[in-house]
Structure 1
Amino acid sequence: MTYDYDLFVIGAGSGGLAASKRAASYGAKVAIAENDLVGGTCVIRGCVPKKLMVYGSHFPALFHDAAGYGWKVGEAELDWQHFITSIDKEVRRLSQLHIDFLERAGVDLIPARASLVDPHTVEVDGRKVTAEKILIAVGGRPVKPDLPGMEYGITSNEIFHLKQQPKHIVIIGAGYIGTEFACIMRGLGSEVTQITRGDKILKGFDEDIRSGIEEGMTNHGIKLIKKNVIETVEKVPSGIKLTLSQQDQEPIIADVFLVATGRMPNVEGLGLENAGVDLVEGNIEGPGYSNMMAIAVNEFSQTSQENIFAVGDVTDRINLTPVAIGEGRAFADSEFGNNRRLFSHDTVPTAVFSNPEAATVGLTEAEAHDKYGDAVKVYRTRFRPLFHSLTGAQEKTMMKLVVDGNTDKVLGAHMVGDSAGEIIQGVAIAVKMGATKKDFDATVGIHPSSAEEFVTMR
């Protein structure tokens, strides 16, 4: 049978872009459909604009720290409109860049939403298009709990477009998004209250990372309210009023309420049932949430239909931009490049761009003990960075190696402190290659630097 395309990709985010360009490089005829700005969550309303906000939030502390080095810095004031407009301009520049890359690669871009009609047919822009293979890469979306007054809350989609800087922002959620935006908004000068259901933020991370970030956030003036959930949210003349579950907790009034309680795969309206694509059930824990459904895939990103594939956040796997890119390229190599291969989801490094920043790769201390028992050795250091020896700021850096005592293999590396993401990226290469503690010990440190601590811990 003759098809209109060798590959039709639904969704022009990180995974879809990577797969379409790689498949086209092998000579495949490819089309990609997107009904939003090209670039997906990361470029439009995720890691790129968020990281620009992170950079912007660091300046007040730098102005303050400069005094310790003899600099006289005058009154500083944030022009919020300039700030958010500049970020939006950069987002749109990057989106256009991705469009240009698709054009150069020979990929047809269809600016419309696509849905499945049958295993080889999609409906897009009022017409039906056939393809030998279909890739679903539509990502995820923020989800709010079904609780009274949640319509007054914004999500991470809207926070980049606030017309005014919040005087007081309340954030619910203890994951990446809630924690990062709490630090961003506090750095920019807003009063910040973060509410969490558990007794600590960033569930699943190493305990030293969780406690290290919390300590830094508290020192920077962020109010953390733990073991509480929102009972009601209502609009009042002075702002948004939040009533919490603990009776001894007074209601909170803020001008902005950010709901950062999770994301779910964006499977609605895809017509998956028309093509016989199976879903797998997951869930977001907590009151007010329903079950989450994701596209079920095997290790080659293949769905229950042999010619339909899915990558990225629409599946129930690691939700990170580089992972979606890796999955998309592995799919294209396997299906169009005569190079059948798996993308490994083991030892994936990640960072939390909070203040203090954190990054990690490999097993946490708890995970290592569960897997290797008493053989696990832990090397840890905590110190005041040299930079702050003149600023007077009480900032701390934590570094940690988790090692299998039987083989001397480094199982995990964790850091809280300035440039944690940049440092762990390099350390991740060694951990991925199976380096031992002796390999770290034999490496000469760069002095003076914080990173050298990873090769000097004994």
Structure 2
Amino acid sequence: MSAYDVDLFVIGGGSGGVRAARIAAGYGARVMLAEEYRVGGTCVIRGCVPKKLMVYAGRFADEFEDAAGFGWSVEKPRFDWGTLKRRRDAEVTRLEGIYDANLIRAGVEIVPERAVIEDPQTVRLVKTGRTIRAERILVAVGAHPVKEPDVPGIELAITSNEVFELESLPERILVIGGGYIAVEFAGVFAALGSNTTLLHRGDRLLRGFDDEVRDALAEAYRHRMDLRLGRTLRRIESRDGGLRAQLDDGTEIDADQILVATGRRPNVAGLGLERVGIETDAAGAIPVDAYSQTRVPSIYAVGDVTNRANLTPVAIREGHAFADTVFGGKPACVDHRLIPTAVFSTPEIGVVGHSEAGAREAYGQIDVYKARFRPMKATLSGREERIFMKVLVDRASDRVVGVHIFGHDAGEVIQAVGIAVTMGATKADFDRTIAVHPTAAEELVTMRVPEVTKHPVGVG
């Protein structure tokens, strides 16, 4: 007779927790999963999936406009927010049902309530008071958006959670932030027809990305919205049935909605970590080792709550690696150094590996290959749009250490490129790959002459 009720108790039904639970159950573990809101987590319920559907909706505006250049006569299109919201929400519900079904099919018991840690091998269900003894506990509770900066009236703003609850398309919206979430939502609302302002305190959007990609995005966004860089929010007030934001330079922006997308923090409040001696770091995250184990041997954590790389595919990989290690007898850890990623702005961004600045710091001498061109589609549509690509090569080994794409379908392209870069492809490997013509992506294998370096000898 086991001393435990379950082999694994998972707190949190997001991408990482669901994957860990399902794989562990597949290895024969007795698994229970508690989720207090909806199974699927941020990505499925109020994150990347519904947001991507909104991105698609916004891009139809460009398609209708571009069609005329190809001989199509299209009546002036009309957009209905209610239809998009209804169909988007229905798809989210459908996906949630699939997540539930997959867990149940795997033999995981789902508990629809909040769970907290009582001791290293006990959790308590808050609503019922029931306690569960578990040999191992996995914390996969994710993170939540925060409203920053803390200025007067900030409570009048909404976050990326509430944005999915809007019953109508705001005529005017102010988006505050410079990361993925702010950039993507600003692009969505501008495309759907809202008078959109994007406010960011820095001089460039998307900190951590390659500077030339950041500049390309800013140039494109200035044609689509009011982009305010280097400015900060001072206060928000209710004014004439709407909202008014005052900036640090004294200017004011009137809006129907103000979306604050300036950061997220791990969901650790009230979780019971202090009872077992787990201290969070400065960002509020749970420290873990390469195998996602905390300082308490029986407790693990994956996903955004660890603040390692806050991306859904990373959480999924971490959850899978945890289950393989602990229940599958196949020790595995996730390499967070090389993560292909996309930003679904319009145009979108696809990245894998180092930025140019990061590559120079890591490798010293690098070769930089670039291509800027007008996409073929734009020659007839007349759209003023450019594609930018950059390939970074370590000069000593000829290995490709960074690829950056700004343009249509960059996210789709970078997934395939990410395979090659992860495998350690060299520039010679790229060069001997036959191009698929005519495509934009063929530029990645036809770049032959590196940009002449503007850096001191010995640096690049």
The TM-score by the shorter chain falls in which range?
over 0.9
- Do structure 1's residue 237 and structure 2's residue 276 form an aligned pair? no
1:53, distance to aligned residue in structure 2 (A): 0.1
1:316, distance to aligned residue in structure 2 (A): 2.3
- Do structure 1's residue 392 and structure 2's residue 382 form an aligned pair? yes
Q: How far apart in 2 are the matches of 1:151 and 1:61?
A: 34
Q: Deviations over 1:160-207 (max 9, x none)?
A: 111110111001100000000110000101110011101110010001
Q: Give 2:188's match in structure 1, choosing from 184, 191, 194.
A: 184
- Do structure 1's residue 313 and structure 2's residue 304 form an aligned pair? yes
The code of the aligned residue for 2:137 comes to I
Residue 285 of structure 1 is matched in structure 2 by none
- Do structure 1's residue 370 and structure 2's residue 365 form an aligned pair? no
1:152, distance to aligned residue in structure 2 (A): 0.6
Residue 289 of structure 1 is matched in structure 2 by none
Residue 287 of structure 1 is matched in structure 2 by none
The code of the aligned residue for 1:48 comes to V
Q: Please, what is the CA RMSD of the aligned residues?
A: 0.8
Q: How far apart in 2 are the matches of 1:356 and 1:208?
A: 14
Aligned partner of residue 290 in structure 2, secondary structure: coil
Q: Is the 8 A contact 1:277 1:304 kept in 2?
A: yes
Alignment of 1:2-401 (within 5 A): 2-124=3-125, 125-145=128-148, 146-220=150-224, 222-247=225-250, 250-282=251-283, 293-373=284-364, 375-401=365-391
1:33, distance to aligned residue in structure 2 (A): 0.1
Q: How far apart in 1 are the matches of 2:360 and 2:131?
A: 54
Aligned partner of residue 351 in structure 1, secondary structure: strand
- Do structure 1's residue 448 and structure 2's residue 452 form an aligned pair? no
Structure 1 runs of 4+ aligned residues shifted over 3 Å read: none
Q: Deviations over 1:312-347 (max 9, x none)?
A: 000120000000000000000000001011111121
Q: Give 2:427's match in structure 1, choosing from 437, 441, 452.
A: 437
Q: How far apart in 1 are the matches of 2:88 and 2:366?
A: 45
1:153, distance to aligned residue in structure 2 (A): 0.3
The code of the aligned residue for 1:155 comes to T
The code of the aligned residue for 1:348 comes to I
Q: How far apart in 1 are the matches of 2:326 and 2:61?
A: 50
Q: Is the 8 A contact 1:238 1:253 kept in 2?
A: no
Q: How far apart in 1 are the matches of 2:220 and 2:407?
A: 9
Q: Is the 8 A contact 1:280 1:294 kept in 2?
A: yes
Q: Deviations over 1:264-286 (max 9, x none)?
A: 1010010111122221113xxxx
Q: How far apart in 1 are the matches of 2:76 and 2:431?
A: 47
TM-score, structure 2 normalization:
0.96
Q: How far apart in 2 are the matches of 1:415 and 1:135?
A: 36
Aligned partner of residue 281 in structure 1, secondary structure: coil
The code of the aligned residue for 2:342 comes to A
Q: How far apart in 1 are the matches of 2:112 and 2:120?
A: 22
Aligned partner of residue 90 in structure 2, secondary structure: helix
Q: Is the 8 A contact 1:172 1:178 kept in 2?
A: yes
The code of the aligned residue for 1:414 comes to H
The code of the aligned residue for 2:228 comes to I
Q: Percent identity?
A: 51
Q: How far apart in 1 are the matches of 2:387 and 2:304?
A: 32
- Name stretches of at least 5 consecutive residues in structure 1 with no aligned partner: 283-292
Q: Deviations over 1:364-392 (max 9, x none)?
A: 0000111222x111000000000111000
TM-score, structure 1 normalization:
0.96
1:238, distance to aligned residue in structure 2 (A): 4.2
1:415, distance to aligned residue in structure 2 (A): 0.3
Residue 288 of structure 1 is matched in structure 2 by none
Aligned partner of residue 381 in structure 2, secondary structure: coil
The code of the aligned residue for 1:351 comes to A
Q: How far apart in 2 are the matches of 1:361 and 1:101?
A: 31
Q: How far apart in 2 are the matches of 1:243 and 1:400?
A: 39
Tell me the matched-pair count. 444
Q: Is the 8 A contact 1:43 1:91 kept in 2?
A: yes
Q: Is the 8 A contact 1:381 1:457 kept in 2?
A: yes
The code of the aligned residue for 2:180 comes to Y
Q: Deviations over 1:23-47 (max 9, x none)?
A: 0000000000001111000000000
- Name stretches of at least 5 consecutive residues in structure 2 with no aligned partner: 449-460
Aligned partner of residue 234 in structure 1, secondary structure: strand
Q: Deviations over 1:34-82 (max 9, x none)?
A: 0111100000000000000000001111001000000000021111111
Q: How far apart in 2 are the matches of 1:107 and 1:370?
A: 46
Q: Deviations over 1:286-325 (max 9, x none)?
A: xxxxxxx110101110001001000000012000000000
Q: Is the 8 A contact 1:278 1:304 kept in 2?
A: no
